Amino acid sequence: MGLVYRYVSLYSATSTWLDFLPVDGESIDIPKGQHLLVDVDSTAKLNAITVEGSLLFAPDASKTHKRTLDARIIIVKGGYVEMGTETNPYTS
């Protein structure tokens, strides 16, 4: 049926970041094999994000919810970014 299951790391979990969430001005890497689920309403104002794994956004059930990822640079190097799908588009 085309379903894909992934074990994800939650952006909101301090264990994803070795006990400290990213802060303004930092750069983050999402290595190959890691699936990072953005489950927060807004992130710190990041300098750069390098995506070699996957950067996913939590589904928008309300259709009016706003979610913000703030980064100066996003580099996708062999990985992917998923914000909704064709049948379930992300609206914020």
If one counts every other C-beta atom within 10 angstroms of the C-beta of residue 23, the result is 10
Asked if the model's pLDDT at residue 40 lies above 80, the reply is yes
- Which residues lie closer than 8 Å to 34 by C-beta, 6 or more apart? 9, 53, 54
Q: What stretches of the chain adopt beta strand conformation (E)?
A: 9-10, 27-30, 35-38, 42-51, 54-57, 68-76, 80-82
Give the C-alpha separation, 55 to 30, whole Å: 8
| Tokens encoding 89 | 């588009």
pLDDT of residue 60: 62
Q: Which residues pair with 81 in a beta bridge?
A: 55
pLDDT of residue 63: 65
User: pLDDT, tens digit, for every residue of 45-85?
Assistant: 999 999 999 999 876 666 666 778 899 999 999 999 988 77
Asked if the model's pLDDT at residue 11 lies above 90, the reply is yes
